[in-house]
Amino acid sequence: MRLSSAALIAVVASSASSYISSFQLQHGLTQRRNGAAMERVTSLQAFKLKEGETKNMFEGPAPLVKERDACGVGFIANTKSGEEFGTHKVLQQGLTALDCMEHRGACGGDGISGDGAGIMTQIPWKLFSEYRSENCPKPGVGMVFLPQQEDRRNSVKEVIEKVCEANELEFLGWREVPVDPSALGPQARDAVPSMWQMFVKAPKRLDDDEETRDGFERTLYLVRRRILVELEKAGLKWEDANSETYFASFSSATIVYKGMVQGCVLPQFYKDLQDEDFTTKFVIYHRRFSTNTNPKWPLAQPMRVVGHNGEINTLVGNVNWVKAREKSKALPECELEDLVDAENTDNIVMMCNTQDVPNVLEPLVDLGRSDSANLDAVFELMTKSRHRAPCALMSLVPTAYENEPALSNNPEIVDFYKFHGGLLEAWDGPALLVYSDGKSIGASLDRNGLRPARYSITSDGTVYMMSETGVVDLEESDIVQKGRLGPGQMINVDLATGEFKDNIAIKSEIASRHPYGEWVKKGRKDVTKMTFADDRLYDDATTTFAQGTFGWGLEDIGMQIQDMAGSAKETTYSMGDDAPIAVLSERPHTPYNYFKQRFAQVTNPPIDPLREGVVMSVAMTLGKKESIYKVSEKGARLIHLESPVLNSNEMDRIASFAEPENGGFEQATISTRYSLADGPDGIKDAIEAICDKAVEDVRNGVEVLILSDKSADQAELDGTTYIPPMIAVGAVHHRLIDEGLRMDTGIVIETGSAWSTHHFACLVGYGANAVHPYLALETVKQWHGSKRTQSMMKAGKLDNTTLDEAQQNYRKAVENGLLKILSKMGISLLSSYQGAQIFEAMGLGEEVIDTSFKGTTSRIGGVSLSDIAQETAMMRPETADEKAKLINYGYYKPVPKKGEYHVNSSDLAKLLHDAIGLDKTVSAATDRDEAENDGVKPKNAANYEIFKKSLESAPLANIRDLLDFESDRESISIDEVEPAAEIMKRFCTGAMSLGALSREAHETLAIAVNRVGGKSNSGEGGEDTVRIKDLSDVDEKGRSPTYPHLAGLKNGDSANSYIHQVASGRFGVTPEFLTTAKQLEIKMAQGAKPGEGGQLPGPKVSDYIATLRASKPGVTLISPPPHHDIYSIEDLAQLIHDLHAINESAGVSVKLVSSIGIGTVACGVAKAQADVIQISGGDGGTGASPLSSIKHAGMPWEMGLSEAHSALLNNGLRDRVTLRVDGGIRTGRDLAIAAMMGAEEFGFGTIAMIAEGCVMARVCHLNTCPVGVTSQKEELRKKFPGTPEHVVNFFMFVAEEIRELMAHLGYSKFEDLIGRADLLKESEEQLARIAKTKGVTLSGFFGSIPESKDDRAFLRATPAEGGGLKDSVVHVNGGSSDLDREMCNHEDVKAAIEKNSGDTAVSFNIKNTDRSTCAMLAGDISRQYGNKGLDGNLNINIFGSAGQSFGAFALPGMKLRLTGEANDYVGKGMHGGEIVVLPEADAGFVAADSSIVGNACLYGATGGDFHANGRAGERFCVRNSGAYAVCEGTGDHCCEYMTGGVVVALGTVGRNVGAGMTGGIGYFYDEDGRFDERVNGEIVKFQRVGSAAGELQLRNMIERHFEKTGSEKAEAILDNWDEEKAKFWQVYPPSEAQSAVVSDTIVGETVKVSATAPSEELCYLPVGAGLSPDQTTRCAD
């Protein structure tokens, strides 16, 4: 219970002395006294483990919590040269390419040892000639990592030889691989295995296998897995890094050389690679970037068949399903003994009984291995079981085939995917996969295309495929074809014939091997969406009673159901989640609320369900799934569900399939209800009973299992309770897996306890195939029929809908919400999300986890099954009564007295306002000018004490509420403690954007925090350039003509935010914005909605805000998730590189959100050269966000911060970065706890808003803030009451509170608290206050924080960077910016910038390792001239293959001409000037058909002209808001989220053109007449170019393109203009519908044809006029 203000005043002394003396009690400080003297506590162990407890911070799947990776990958294949064994040249080129992708990898903690590099090749038979003979020309060759210790090594060898001999593999000998350990870094040298090769002869029984060698390969494969089992049986398994036995390869076709090295070191270490006799027809190369600084040798790639660049987001689910499949397929164990007979080995791999016989074969998959290793294992098994390699990969990583125009002429490919999609859930996630099984070599890209993949084919037939173009130096005259892999595409080279097959050719060939279409048509039953029933299930009284029993509250209907059924959208809300976590709440919660959704950040990207939903699907299946290793017609016999959200008619349709003549799908319904009289412990027997019944039913042939909590009537509701559906489905799902039965049935949940999108995600995530939410649909009917709803429809406050439409709306809202939740984790298919358990539990005990959620992490313990049953019973209404109403639990909006506690209440705001002297009635709208000191009252320490006391005595809400301090020394005088001014330098404001906040609120916060020496943050909306200069025009009243809307100003104040944020929407990101920052922040995630982009409702996009954001007024802005140029760790490293390039003096911070695995992510960010890592709590505030995101995504910062600090410290990376934390920090106590958990800087968000006047009205998303803090309305902004002094007063109170705490703890310097978790302990008193359970324990988690009491070196920068204060050190780019430095230091360039007039021309050569080229130059120009750039022209001619981000942030006056090609992100953030990219004059390929620039070109461009004489990749001109661009074709998603500028594509484009486009114009040349299939018509419209202005604009841009590039395509179009212009489509959004270029208008209106012409006059042409020859020349120049 919170005390009233009066009661608090009564218990708090008002004098300063009592303020200080009460400090000890207030902070729970533990001191030990002996009489009058205080004893010094000499040794403390933080969070002592209780009996049976273990440290659990890093518990969980290893790929999640220990190590993640990304990389550069590619292959070279030449089957024409070098006769049978290939050439050494192919190997040399592969090693060169590997070295040229060094920047896509990283090094270990010693800065020398690589994270991993390797190659796979054909076995170099010339090199191994002594092990070959006439009767054994191609033996099996094993590349084996053995223990370093000789005795261990010999023991392992002995076992290996015995196993080989037992399986008829004649052992031909060992070969010690020649290596040079001196080439290794210290870490790699310490862990290096002993490298050996072994040679075996094929068994005589396989003599007739020589042609295909399939039987021999299967035997080698199975024997390899048998060896590892026998080694373990013999006790020959050790934990030492250099004692592991690992087979890098064991094959008669391929061999792998790899290690913990940099790319250039690989051939130095392995001397074989320098030998001329090492010849091969192909090479796969791979360079790894690990988030761990102690990577292991076996984790280097390529794996045995795959080189993988990416991350499998569905890994836990994939592994679970593989295990379920293995369990359900059985061979007698005796048959597993013969690993030689060809037919028998074929049966073993086809029946796939290889996982659960660990005494015979090493398990196939294991969450202790990396995602790449698990994928490789399944892929390898599939290639051993009659799947060709491309077929296996098509099945595992399918393309988005539905509604794909490119497949419209290939129904056989669609049928292949339909068939395999029912059998096998996709291994989903961003991935470029290069593969070889020795028979073919190829590459495939994930369905989203979120990895770069380019290829070239030369005249001699060599195929070069690579993550980046330019890694091998090729003569363009020798290249006959240049291409790229688009989303879901594949290429393949037959290693026997040398035949190259593109995407359609190889997939059509594979898909034509079986009549998949016939099988699907015959066997599959489809359940499409049907109409909804109108009939009511219950009367209103029974409905309300049922709702109450299932935990529904009034808010769920008034907010969620109304929005979902009324407008088919999830509820949008604001602020953050300031309610207690479920386990600490005093109110009953459903089990769903104990789960937090996981999300992708850094190592893999979230995806965009709003604009890229074409690659996503919620379709599911029911029925028995056949083997994925043995293709047969039976595999098509499934029930296919269009939606996982079923209504009663669809349930009847499914039931009809039980009839023998209609499919014969046997079905059973199991009730999950049990007698209320059984009490809380009855739930355990009830769970056991339904699991037993499920096993019995499925064994008897049931293929559709329905778990139902539906009651027939009120009487049944009165006498029974239910197993919560999450508990029920999880228990049954795991029990069926354990029994080997899960693949034999589908599970439908029929429940009254599912209404929110989060609920559905939880049910599917823990095993449900579909959900029938009968009570949610009943509630929609109840809501729709209510008088209130009907009157709101009549009044126009709600859309008028029929009952069927309302239920359809509800289902659509759930489906879209599911897509959003999937997309946060980078998952496209609900079928891949099913059973993947992509959640972290918070507050569930071990019993619950073991029963229903095996494999889910729950790190603080919590409730038992009985506790859950008790909590479920607490929700029950007393009686069913027609007048009864649901309880308003107040989980979202605070409800006085009876509702859930919310920390940030209006009462709390009033208490803080009283302390800091703020009167919300004093503002520009009242009498501020007349009030003394602008109405700022004196700050009051006693009132601040009351504010703090209100928080201390409040209900438990956060994990930190359960902690106490425990000092290790005596108290000191406060005079010895460092001053508040020093402490406040560590204070920051949260990243709240201008747009979410009003100008008044945003500028006041910036001025206040700058005034105290802290760090203000712009948020993602950009800033007005007027804020760059310090104030010097303030009068004696504190007023400034520069900021007439602000009060309380001082000369010298600065409104320029210290930190300028770069977010996915790139709003306001211009060169000047970047160069005027002292720190640049990359927003990877936001606490209130991790995995999603920012959101600004249309009413808040005023003219001023739209100008800053380069968008359209009144148009809602929902940023994409961060995946365009930060979709992996190496691409985040590239963006960090870009920002360090344009502003070398600014540090780069990366904002993450707390989640399990954040520790390993933080390590990756540190290795990517970030200067600061910010950890935000999942309870952070927001201006607007989907409600389920606010409540159910992201963990408390206490956990994320502790994990990040610990992982960085354990990996030796802590001194490379500063750690910042934010999310609900309100007091000095919070801040001290955060420091002890590792934070060095601290962000204040919502509480800082309260300090400037926020009253917690929680209407930020509605633009109706009553005090103008979050409104853009002029009349409301005038009511803004805050001044900088109010915020400064708050900061001073917090700093003084910290000083008092430090004095009592005995510490004089704040930095001495950082990382000192030993000064914290669990509070037994607070733990005893938890009402629901006694199972919460913090010691296992927080006891994992490393001891740092004595070693404080992490508080300073690395010795290599001088070892000074980290805040004063900024990481600098290495050799990848050398070309940029050369350019900036060129005398002619410096003179041109200084002169700022005339023309200057310079030339340079470039290679792919030169990255962010011209960004440093743009920075130099911006610092001198701002965004307007140069008045003169700086013509820079560049030759070669440009690395990533070529021309980033180019400014007016910069004219860049690249002859050659470029990789991803060309023109990123371009603000002006000109970029021209064209091939060499003697190129052997057709430019218009070939890729010349990569993905996401012109991302976030705000101006400039761009011309590419060739094709661009995916997402061309994404978020373009001003550039004028011409290219000759693009990949998917062209013009995505574009808000301005003009795009012309002179060739074919991929699908989804114009998705989310709200401004600008596109022109598309439609050669094949199928452009209409490729447009996303949700927003944009398209028409032929009909207006004179439009034709004028288009023609002039094409003329410029021809003049700049000499494009043959442009010339051909212009030469036949009257005919060719009819082939163009014009794409435009509604905001452009009345523009001259779209609609016919009178002559005399002007049309813009260029963004960078020398004078503004020349940028525009009168409609009906053309450029004169002189004008044309001048415009081109």
Q: What is the pLDDT of residue 1172?
A: 97
Query: pLDDT digits over 1590-1625, tens only?
Result: 999 999 999 999 999 999 999 999 999 999 999 999
pLDDT greater than 70 at residue 1318: yes
Beta strands in 1380-1466 (DSSP E): 1399-1406, 1433-1442, 1454-1462
Distance of CA 688 to the CA centre of its chain: 38
pLDDT confidence band for 357 (50 / 70 / 90): low
pLDDT digits (tens, 9 = 90+) for 1399-1409: 999 999 999 99
Instruction: Give pLDDT, residue 1662.
Output: 40
pLDDT at 332: 60
Once rounded to an integer, what is the mean pLDDT over residues 449-465?
93
Tokens 């403390």 appear where? 44
Assign 69 a pLDDT band (cuts: 50, 70, 90).
low
Q: Who wins on pLDDT, 1183 or 1572?
A: 1572
Determine the Cα angle at 465 with ends 464 and 471, to 5°. Answer: 75
In this prediction, residues 645-658 reach a mean pLDDT of 98
| Model pLDDT, residue 15 | 29
The most distant pair of C-alpha atoms in the chain lies apart, rounded to whole Å, by: 105
- Which distant-in-sequence residues (6+ apart) come within 8 Å of 518 by Cβ? none
**Stated pTM of the model:** 0.93
pLDDT at 6 over 80: no
* pLDDT confidence of residue 1655: 36
Has residue 1032 got a pLDDT over 70? yes
Rounded CA Rg of the chain: 33
pLDDT (0 to 100) of residue 1658: 35
* Structure confidence at residue 1424 (pLDDT): 96
* 1003-1017, 1335-1349, 1431-1445, 1461-1475: range with lowest mean pLDDT: 1335-1349
Residues, the chain: 1677
What CA–CA distance (Å, rounded) separates 1540 from 1538? Answer: 6
Burial class (CB in 10 A: 0-12, 13-18, 19+), 1629: buried
Predicted confidence at residue 7, as pLDDT, reads 36
Q: What is the pLDDT averaged over residues 112-127? A: 92
User: Which pLDDT score is estimated for 334?
Assistant: 61
**98's tokens:** 């590997």
Cis previous bond, 302, omega within 30: yes
Q: Which of 1238, 1240, 1228, 1224 is nearest to 1302 (CA)?
A: 1228
Q: Is the pLDDT of residue 1288 over 50?
A: yes
Torsions phi, psi for 1043 (to 5 deg): -130, 70
DSSP 375-415: HHHHHHHHHHTT--HHHHHHHHS----TT-GGGTT-HHHHH
Per-residue model confidence as pLDDT tens digits over 497-521: 999 999 999 999 999 999 999 999 9
The 490-494 sheet, strands edge to edge: 306-310, 431-436, 440-445, 490-494, 500-501
pLDDT at position 822: 94
Find the mean pLDDT for residues 950-976: 95
Q: Is-catalytic flag, 71?
A: yes
Residue 133: the pLDDT is 93
Checking if the pLDDT of 350 tops 70, the result is yes
What percent of the chain is modeled with pLDDT above 90? 78
What's the pLDDT at 1213? Answer: 93
Which of these ranges, 352-361, 794-803, 1483-1492, has the smallest mean pLDDT? 352-361
- Cα gap 719→455, rounded to integer Å: 68
Per-chain mean pLDDT for the chain: 90
Mean pLDDT of 855-868: 95
Lowest mean pLDDT among 267-281, 446-460, 805-819: 446-460
Give the burial class of 1542: count Cβ atoms within 10 A of its Cβ; 0-12 exposed, 13-18 middle, 19 or more buried.
buried
- At residue 1676, the pLDDT reads 29
Residue 375: pLDDT above 90?
yes
Mean pLDDT in residue range 1548-1557:
96
Q: Note the pLDDT of residue 293.
A: 60
- Higher-scoring residue by pLDDT: 994, 112: 994
Looking at residue 1324, its pLDDT comes to: 93
Q: Which amino acid is residue 1310, in one-letter code? A: F
Q: What percent of the chain has pLDDT over 70?
A: 94
- DSSP secondary structure string for all residues of 1634-1652: TSTTTS---BTBEEE--SS
Overall average pLDDT of the 1579-1591 stretch: 95
Mean pLDDT of 201-226: 89
**Catalytic member of 71, 100, 762, 1517:** 71
**pLDDT of res. 1641:** 61
Mean pLDDT for 1641-1667 is 51
Write down the pLDDT at residue 1475: 98
Nearest 10 degrees: CA dihedral of 1236, 1240, 1245, 1251? 90
Please tell me the distance from the alpha carbon of residue 1668 to that of residue 1673, in angstroms, as a whole number: 9
Token output for 1513: 């990749």
Q: Are 1498 and 1517 in contact (CB under 8 A)?
A: yes
pLDDT tens per residue across span 30-51: 332 233 333 323 334 567 777 7
pLDDT at 875 over 70: yes
- Of 1511 and 84, the one with more pLDDT: 1511
